[in-house]
Amino acid sequence: MAIRTEFVTVPVDDGSSMRAYVARPEGTPRAGLIVFQEIFGINPHIRDITERFAREGYLAIAPELFHRTGAGFESGYTDMAPGFGHMQQMNDTNLAADIRAAFDWLQGASDGKKIPTGAVGYCMGGRTAALAAMTVPLACGISYYGGGIAPSPFNPGLLEWLKEVHAPMLFFWGGLDGFIKPEHVRMVTDRMRAANKPFASVEFSDADHGFFCDQRGSYNSNAASQAWPLTLAYLASHTKTS
């Protein structure tokens, strides 16, 4: 499917402005999708993912979550320090404002008609996808190796707030992930189950953190190629309209 891409500027309700990368499919989109970044910014990999979803018919927007401290920031995968520096200056209040801004932009961008909207995120974006499911009326959320949903050295996590999730969630994990260990995965799934929230949890036992990113040394082609159709099926199931 042919697509069009552009950067847009989105107003945020805290008075800031946020750049976002948008990929539009031809014709009427099947649904909207927010794509949440890793700590490396809206770099070529995140832009590529956003475009891949657009080719599947989704009007996809990747908001720049570091816009307050590093507008335009993007990096490769050899030095994580700059990205961590920006991430450590974030807070959930600001993230919630960014989530609302991206969601509202999608609702006004398809010929003025509201469309069912999902969210997908990677690493810190996987955590943000879970936060989005608590913040706006998503059709579903998808979290790839979402660091910081369970407590981590960098933030206290979201476990106490998972009861506020209002959308079905699909979680992907890597069994070899040194950042998100099996006990962290259990914390998340146990809390979701205790709160009676609909979710699916998929672990690829031989995959590491970042397994979906074909620009990282931890890329796992088998896991990535299996996760992609599962992602599309989950989105299609929860964003379809009658």
Catalytically active residues, by annotation? 123, 177, 209
Strands 3-11 and 17-25: antiparallel
Name every residue whose Cβ is closer than 8 Å to that of residue 124 and which is 6 or more positions away in sequence.
36, 37, 38, 39, 65, 87, 146, 147, 148
In the block, which residue shows the tokens 């770099």?
A: 43
Determine contact, residues 60/33, Cβ cutoff 8 Å.
yes
Q: How far apart are CA 200 and CA 196, in angstroms?
A: 12
Q: Taking Cα atoms as reference points, which of 98, 92, 102 lies closest to residue 15? A: 98
**Structure tokens belonging to residue 214:** 């074909």
DSSP E strands in the chain: the ranges are 3-11, 17-25, 31-36, 58-63, 117-122, 140-144, 169-174, 199-204
